[in-house]
Amino acid sequence: MNTDNYNTKNTTHPQQDTPPGSTGEHNRMFGGMPPTRLFFRCAIPNMISMAVVSMYTIADGIFVGYYIGAEALAAINLVMPLIMMSFAFSDMVAVGSSVQIAIWLGKKDERMAGRIFSTACLLILISALVMGTLAWLFSYPLVHLLGASGEVADLAVKYMRVYAAFSVLIMHFFAVDNYLRICGKVHYSMAMNVGISLANIVLDWLFIGVLGWGIESAALASCLSLMCGNILCFLPFFAGKLPLHFMRQWIRPGLLGNIIANGSSEFFNNISGSVCMIIFNAALLSAGGFMAVAAFSIIMYVDSVVKALLFGMGDALQPAISYNYGAGSPARIWAIERRVQAAGLLLALLVLAFMQLGGEALIGLFAKEDAELLSISVRGMRLFSLSYLFTWCAILSGSFFTALNRPVFSLMTAAGQTLLFPVLFLSVLPRFLGLDGIWLSPVLAGAASFLVCLLFLLDTSRRLSSGSGQQAQRPL
């Protein structure tokens, strides 16, 4: 990292500026806890949180589809990529700032970490104001641009405008969740995520199932849950009980550029994921019709839970890796990362075995009354699930590179896995294998990403070893 971005005269400050004991928990955990215990302490709560969040997404769709109707479900699916894109910049700032905050805390410089924390919160607030205003004003042109018309377009606009109205109250949640984990509050973070998910499900049931409200209530349930979670997550920071504090000093443009660059892979994931879904759906329509698209939807529901567990695992250990990078402890960095990668491989193998042997029972929950849909889905899942042999590495390595302040490697890993390799193989395999070629495209894309990640990991290992204890003073 470039230390010129910060005036070194500010790196010392009176002891009373920091509340007693505020650094103790994350110092002991990230710097001294045995790596295996640290992995379970951080990874398990975050994986539970991510899994619960993905489960509530499925429940949300069930309530809308069952009580409001297929048109409402179509409207939500239509505008959800736009909603996720509106969060893209704030997510980018959240990831990039989290890395820098953990690095500076590793250097025992809470003042600089607080400046980054404060600047990031301000940037996300500005982004929320801009994106919310644009989404409200241009909602109709946007949904028409996506091809919606008639009642579906009206429903889509109603849904999107609720998110637009709440944007300034909900867009900080992903960032503040990261900041809690950096400060060692992993169980508090897990409780907030689980609580938000359960609250969303209960509000969906109340608004839609009991009161019979329309599509706006589905968005309202999500936004109210996120808003309450956002407020509760910020309370420990306002109380001054954590090492991060709000400050009136901002960071310099050079460090801001690094934050944006380091979070660019998260931004790219948000954008490219939507683009890739559009391309896959077009290919499925051509090769197998609407039934193939429906099968793909079922597979993606299942896949979202698996990916949530992997992302939860990788993201949970990011603060620990960044902290030890800032503290100049390469041996401890690799001790942590070896456990992350080993756990990722084990999870991937277990999921693969389950999908090959018991996937039909799981898919039957979605398609038990349609024999054709069940048949296509089971075939697709058995082929698609082979991708888990490789994709675990790209997901976990991307988080690792981000934590080590290597934005180029992180971005290239994300680009290869989420867009470039899938589109490349999707343009070739279906010509020879038809529908099976589409299911196998993620498998070969994952294998290609796996090889690229190995090269990046070898280079990172070499640079960490050669840098020894000085690597925290410069970018890898």
Q: What is the pLDDT of residues 178-202, one digit of tens each?
A: 788 777 777 788 788 888 888 988 9
Count: domains in the chain: 2
Q: Which of 262, 277, 306 is the last residue of a domain?
A: 262
Torsions phi, psi of 205, nearest 5? -60, -45
Q: Tell me, yes or no, whether 11 lies in a domain.
A: no
Contacts of 350 (CB under 8 A, 6+ apart): none
Note whether 209 and 281 are same-domain residues.
Answer: no
Same domain, 278 and 411: yes
Per the CB < 8 A criterion, the answer to whether 471 and 325 are in contact is yes
178 part of a folded domain = yes
Note the pLDDT tens digit of each residue in 397-451: 888 888 887 778 877 888 888 888 998 999 899 888 888 999 999 999 999 999 9
* Contact by Cβ (8 Å): 215, 63: no
Q: What is the pLDDT of residues 246-265, one digit of tens each?
A: 777 677 776 777 777 777 76
Same-domain check for residues 280 and 151: no
CB 94 within 8 A of CB 124: yes
129 shares its domain with 173: yes
pLDDT computed for residue 384 by the predictor: 92
Which one of 218, 246, 262 terminates a domain?
Answer: 262
- How many CA atoms does the CB half-sphere of 453 hold within 13 Å? 25
446 and 433 in a single domain? The answer is yes
Rounded to whole angstroms, the Cα distance separating 405 from 410 reads 9
The per-residue pLDDT for 387 is: 92
In a domain, 21, yes or no: no
- pLDDT (0 to 100) of residue 41: 83
Question: What is the rounded CA–CA span in Å between residue 313 and residue 420?
Answer: 24
Residues 195 and 314 in one domain: no
Same domain, 143 and 229: yes
SS3 (DSSP) at 295: helix
Helix runs in 370-467, H state only: 371-384, 388-403, 407-415, 421-426, 429-433, 435-467
Distance CA 268, CA 85 (A): 10
User: Domain range for residue 300?
Assistant: 265-476
What's residue 173's pLDDT? 84
* In a domain? residue 239: yes
Same domain, 228 and 271: no
Q: What pLDDT does 1 receive?
A: 35
Q: Which of 212, 230, 262 delimits the end of a domain?
A: 262
Do 231 and 156 fall into the same domain?
yes
Within this chain, do residues 243 and 282 fall inside the same structural domain, yes or no?
no
Residue appearing with tokens 């215990």? 37
Note whether 359 and 308 are same-domain residues. yes
Tell me if 15 is assigned to some domain.
Answer: no
Look at the pTM and tell me if it is higher than 0.85. no
Does 113 reside within a domain? Answer: yes
Q: How far apart are CA 277 and CA 226, in angstroms?
A: 26
Phi/psi at 109 (nearest 5 deg)?
Answer: -110, 85
User: Is 128 in contact with 167 (CB distance < 8 Å)?
Assistant: yes
Assigned domain for 5 exists = no
Same domain? For 302 and 410 the reply is: yes
Q: Evaluate whether residue 7 is within a structural domain.
A: no
- Percentages (nearest 5) of helix, strand, coil residues in the chain: 85, 0, 15
**Residue 183: per-residue pLDDT:** 78
pLDDT < 50 stretches in the chain = 1-23, 468-475
